[in-house]
Amino acid sequence: MKNSFNKLAANSENIKWNNIISREHPLYSRNNDIRSEFERDFTRIIHSNAYRRLKHKTQVFYSPQNDHICTRIEHVNHVESISYTISHYLGLNEELTKAIAVAHDLGHSPFGHKGEKILNEISIRDIGTSFWHEKNGLYFVDNIELLEDTEGYKQNLDLTYGVRDGIISHCGEIDENALFPRSEFIDLTEYKYPNQFKPYTWEGCVVKIADKISYIGRDIEDAVSIGILDEHLDELYSLLEYKGGTINNTVIINTLIYDLCNNSSPDKGLCFSDEALNLMNKIKQFNYKHIYLSNILKPSDKYFSVVINQIYDILKNLYDGENTFVKLNGMKKFYYNLITGFIEWLDNYSVHSERSELKNKILFDISNPKDYYFAIILYISGMTDKFAIDMYNEIIGY
C-alpha cells in the first residue's frame, strides 16, 4: 500500500543507514555541493565511460537495423523509471533506486549474455574463476572506472555500499513471490555466484524486481518488430489475454507495478498476487522458448565466440613476463588500435605505471600471468559490440 515502507526506507532513521552510505574511501567535498550521497553516486555513474558504452551494447538483439530496438542503455533507463515508480509509491528512497538502476548492468560484456558466457568459459579455463556480469559490474565501479577529482587526479568512483550492493545483488528470479532484504552487512567480495545473497536494502529489492518487469514485455515488443514471432502470434495473443483484454508492453508494466505495490507490505515482503505472478512466469517461459532460444539468434552466437576468442588469444599470446610491454609494442604495426588501446588501458592499473595523475587502485602485476589474463578479460568485457568487431576486423585485415 502507499507509503507502507516509509519507515524502512534508506534514510538517517534506518538502523542500517551508516552501513548503506559507507564508502571505501571518503569522497572529496565541495563547499557548494547540494547533492545527497546517492545523488552523488548517480552523477558519478552517468559520467563514467562504462555507462556511456551501454548505448552500443546488446540487450537481446544484436545489431538491429531498426533504431527502435532496445539497447542496454535503454534497458537501464526503463529499470530506473519502473523502480522510481515503485519506490515512490511505497515510500522508499527513490534516489537510491535511481542510482542502483542506472548502474546495475555496467558489468555486461559485448554481445549480451552470449558474450558473458564466452568470457566465463575463458575465465574458468585460464584463471580459475567464473565471470558473471553482476560481479564484473561491482568490480568495474570499485576498481576500473575513473573520474577526475577537483585537483585533476583520476580516482575510483568510491560508490556507497547501498549502490554497490544493489549492483551485485540485482539478478535472480522472483518465483518465490516474496522478496525481503538480508540483514547481514557483508563484504561484497564474498559473493561467489549470482543470486547468492538477497539485497541489503528494500531499494535494492525494488530494482531487482523492476529489472524483470522492464524486460519481459519489451523483449516481446522487439521480437514482434523484428518478425521472429510471426509463427507464434496466436500463442502470444492467447497468453496476453489478461482479465478479458489483450495487453501490450505498456499495460504489462503498469499491471505488474500496480499489482506489486498493492500486494506488498513489510510483513509480506515485495510480492505479486498469484494471478500476476503466474502471468509474469508464463511470459518469461514464452520468451525463453520463442525468443532467447530462437534458432534465428543462434548463428550469431558462433560469430560472437570467434570475435571474443580471437581478440583474447592475440593479447594472451603476447604475454612474456616482464618483457610483455616490449612484445605488445612490437605488434602495433599489425594491430595498432587493439594494442595501443590495451596498453593505454592497462597503464591505468599496472604497478609499472608512472603516470602522476593517477590516484586509483593498482590492480595488475604483469609478472603474474593470471593478472595479465584477467586484465584482458576485463578489457574485453568493457568493449561495445562495435568496438569488439572493429578490433576483430583489424586482426583479420592487412
Strand-pair partners of 265: 269
Rounded Cα distance between 178 and 193, Å, is 21
- 240 compared with 19, residue with greater pLDDT: 19
309 and 244 in one domain?
A: no
365 and 323 in one domain?
A: yes
- Name the grid cell of 101: 538502476
Look-up of cell digits 500496480: 258
Contact 173, 110 (CB under 8 A): no
Reduced to 3 states (helix: H, G, I; strand: E, B; else coil), residue 155 is strand
**Final residue belonging to a domain, choices 292, 307, 331:** 292
Task: Determine the average pLDDT of the residues in 300-326.
Answer: 96
**Final residue belonging to a domain, choices 264, 292, 320:** 292
pLDDT band at 238 (very low <50, low <70, confident <90, very high): confident
15 and 45 in one domain?
A: yes
363 and 250 in one domain?
A: no
Residues 6 or more apart from 281 whose CB is under 8 A from it?
175
- Name the grid cell of 342: 590495451
323 and 259 in one domain?
A: no
- 144, 84, 104: which is closest to 383 by C-alpha? 144
234 and 375 in one domain?
A: no
19 and 62 in one domain?
A: yes
pLDDT at 85 > cutoff 60: yes
304 and 250 in one domain?
A: no
Contact 126, 344 (CB under 8 A): no
**Residues constituting the chain:** 398
State residue 173's pLDDT score: 61
Could you tell me what percent of the chain has a pLDDT over 70? Answer: 96
- Name the grid cell of 196: 547468492
Contact 54, 105 (CB under 8 A): yes
User: What φ, ψ does residue 241 adopt, rounded to 5°?
Assistant: -80, 100
The DSSP call for residue 232 is: G
The domain in which residue 35 lies consists of 6-106+145-292
- Residue 169's domain is classified under what CATH number? 1.10.3210.10
Rounded Cα distance between 87 and 90, Å, is 5
pLDDT tens-digit readout, 336-395:
999 999 999 999 998 766 677 888 888 999 899 999 999 999 999 999 999 999 999 999
Rounded Cα distance between 364 and 368, Å, is 8
| Number of domains within the chain | 2
> Is residue 140 a part of any domain in this protein?
no
Rounded Cα distance between 277 and 24, Å, is 38
pLDDT band at 224 (very low <50, low <70, confident <90, very high): confident
pLDDT at 215 > cutoff 80: yes
171 and 277 in one domain?
A: yes
pLDDT at 242 > cutoff 60: no
Helix (H) or strand (E) holding 326, with range, is: helix 324-330
- Name the grid cell of 258: 500496480
Rounded Cα distance between 367 and 352, Å, is 10
**Final residue belonging to a domain, choices 228, 257, 292:** 292
